[in-house]
A and B are shown apart, each in its own frame.
Chain A
Amino acid sequence: MSLEDPGPRDVGLTKTGDVNYDELESLLGDDVLGREEHLNAEAFVIRPDAVQDVLSTLKTDAGFDNCNCVTAQEYQDRYETIYHLTKYDDRTQEVGVVVPTSKDNPVSESAEPVFRTADWHEREAYDLVGIEYEGHPDPRRILLPETWQGHPLSMDYDQTKPQVVTLRENKNPLEEDQRLNDDSDTMLLNIGPHHPATHGVLHVEATLDGEQVADVEPDIGYIHRCEEQMCQQGTYRHQIMPYPDRWDWGGAGLLNEWAYARTAETLADIDVPEYAQVIRTMSGELSRILSHMLAVAAYALDVVGDFTATFMYGMQDREVVQNILEDLTGQRLMFNYFRLGGVAWDLPEPRGEFFEQIRAFIDDLPEKLEEYHNLLTSNEILQIRTVDTGRLEPEIAKSYGATGPVARGSGIDYDIRRDDPYGYYDKLDWNVVTEDGCDNYARLLVRLQEVEESAKIINQCVDLLEGWPEEDRTIQANVPRTIKPEPDTEVYKSVEAAKGELGIYIRSDGTDTPARFKIRGGSFSNLQTLPEMAEGEYIADLIASLGSLDTIMGEVDR
């Protein structure tokens, strides 16, 4: 044995730095029942009573500290839970952990003690598929009403059966019985689901001790509109692409389309022409600006109560970007512009005018951003309300699987555009923005600076597109009319969407529609951190924290 003990990070790696699945398998020992090949990574099939053992070994010994997604699905003969693990330090290193359970007794061990994020993911798996998790701290439904009958994504679910939905969760905070018990001073306060500060139909049950928040429980599912079912009914080629737009209605539609495009292109082995990649990168970043502008504008509304100035400025700048994207895609909000293998059509003619339009916006941007900084980040009222409120320590953020500006505001240097490159990002010059503040202010700063970085990317893309030779403008690869991937191919891929990492898992069954389509919304994991940020703080800071997460309920509830 050599004296130089390899550090924990080196376990499970080959000499070239790739994941060494054989070594991981021997590390896990008898818990492994078999191995599976997914297109993105290999996966271990493990015993359902050894989930915590396996995950904590992978987490502590091999450095897989990011439980990215949990997919549950039902086969003819079994239920299956897949934990998609990766590393915050290196997104390209992935491993799947597959937990099969029997049909008659679908119970496996909960992963919640190892990864906090598994809490909501497993509740969703129980809600929609019907797998139960032993040792889960709160095994309730999460998206559907408590009184719902059956599990909609399981095989024997009958959609035609009637249901009864209650209204009782909406307790009136003014009533006497809202005192939780006689000798305590705590009071239950409902925020939402209809409330201007919850950014959509989110219901937050807050327990208050005076003005301090003693406990927060986000109650979601008020816009659970069956996106996964819709995608499982649609054909790969055209029918799925309109839906990703509707997971993030903040304007980041193109980035969401990219998530589906990337996953399906990996699944069907489609190469995207370089020209289309540049257009995708440019339009995707415009989309990101659109989304961040909304986040900043709405945050001004939440924190400074400023409906007249900053909010309107944000909306005004969004109109400019929406005009550009409308010229390109034909729609203001739900673009539906990406296609498998490229984009729907070329840039609008006359191209010169279109480029000029974008350049004018990019040229004006520094001045506008300065205005935002004057109005917001150097505004004393905003600083008092955001600096050092809603603290989210990096280790806690990681345990919840936080990504996007929320993670980067806690100093986690994690951005899939750089760490697992796609599109044209790796050939362009731009930076990943991180802030070490870990507070609401840091998250706001990250968004404002990311707008600058996006502008940089767009500028370089316009340069490239202007000089692109006319005979080489292929906007779409040659894609078969009907896509039917090999049966039982599994893939999990993600992109850096505006709110965080947007991942999609697809399992094919040989037909032209997916057998299982699972969406990992960035906001879903980010929203989960809310109790960590808000508990012990003032109720007003709860609103500031919620706004700084920039959750979009379409992505949370799907």
Chain B
Amino acid sequence: MSSQDKLTDTVGADSQSTQDARMGEGADNRFNSPLRKALGSSPFILTKFDKFMNWVRGSSMFMLQFGIACCSIEMMHTYSVKHDLDRFGAGVPRASPRQADVIIIPGTIVSKFAPRMKRVYDQMPEPKFVVGMGSCTISGGPFQEGYNVIKGAEEVIPVDIHVPGCPPRPEALIYGIAKLQERVANGESAPVTVKPYELEQFGDLDRDELVEKLAGQIDHDDLVMRYNWVDSP
């Protein structure tokens, strides 16, 4: 006798119409899961709302479909057959940042892209989480010396989980995301980091030599980001 039969048996399907059998006793029987049975006669549990919300959040994470460089290929493999990130409740890639909970940063960030990435991050609804994938998002990786390279994603946005590697294997990324889910479910918040690169209006910048020089080219209320290779850690 399979467990399915057992379930129907308890409802007593013999003498009832199909509809009655489906309805069961009282509420729609389709919701009478073994879990509910385990809770006993009263289908209520007592928990803190925050705790419940965190559990829900960690169990269903929508990822932003966001590719930058080499790591995005391994990220695609993480979503696809064999590794199938969806098994862990975190594999729905969303093309719009407005529908996403998690952004994986898969690649090198350069000065021209940093303001755009910041903008994409800002467009995501709260609460939002960031997974930095690969060495470039930790320190600039093999390109750290480059005149145009941001030395790590944390220069621009706060990062919850760093996954090292060049690129990390899909298994490593899955581990990183599982760790993030664990943290989210436990209600641990992202570390607050010092972010030297902020988007600001050009008019708000300190009027140094460079700003004076560019004053003819950039409007007062244009959004700009300062990039300073030497001051980065």
Contacts and interface: CB of A to CB of B under 8 A. Distances in A.
Contact of B224 (A165, A333, A334): A165
A93 B209 CA distance: 51
Given A229-B145, A230-B145, A333-B73, A170 B119 contact: yes
Contacts, number: 166
Contacts of B23: none
B227 A163 contact: yes
B227 A164 contact: yes
B225 interface: yes
Contacts of A159: 147, 229-230
A553 B107 CA distance: 12
B185 interface: no
A316 B224 contact: no
B41 to A, nearest CB: 43
B37 interface: no
A160 B230 contact: yes
Contacts of B217: 146-147
Interface stretch (B11-19, B51-59, B61-69): B61-69
Nearest to B211: A164
Contact count band on B:
35 or more
Interface residues of A, number: 54
Contact of A249 (B69, B143, B223, B227): B69
A194 B147 contact: no
A226 interface: yes
Please classify the interface of chain A as helix (H, G, I), strand (E, B), loop, or mixed, using the class held by over half of its residues. loop
Interface string A216-245: 000001111111011001000000001100
Contact of B116 (A147, A193, A311): A193
A226 B148 contact: yes
A164 B79 CA distance: 36
A308 to B, nearest CB: 10
A163 B80 contact: no
Interface string B130-153: 000000000000110111110000
A225 B81 contact: no
B207 to A, nearest CB: 12
A165 B146 contact: no
B7 interface: no
Interface of A: 144-147, 149, 152, 157, 159-168, 170, 193-196, 199-201, 221-227, 229-230, 233, 242-243, 246, 249-251, 294, 311-312, 315-316, 318-319, 322, 332-334, 553-554
Interface of B: 65-70, 72-74, 76-77, 80-82, 95, 97, 107-108, 110-117, 119-120, 142-143, 145-149, 166-167, 169, 199, 202, 205, 210-211, 213-214, 217-219, 222-231
22 contacts: A161-B210, A162-B231, A164-B211, A164-B214, A164-B225, A165-B111, A165-B224, A166-B115, A167-B115, A194-B117, A200-B69, A223-B68, A223-B110, A224-B148, A225-B69, A227-B143, A251-B73, A294-B73, A332-B169, A333-B167, A334-B166, A553-B69
Given A168-B223, A334-B167, 13 more contacts: A160-B230, A162-B226, A162-B231, A164-B202, A167-B119, A194-B97, A194-B117, A224-B112, A233-B145, A243-B142, A246-B142, A312-B81, A315-B81
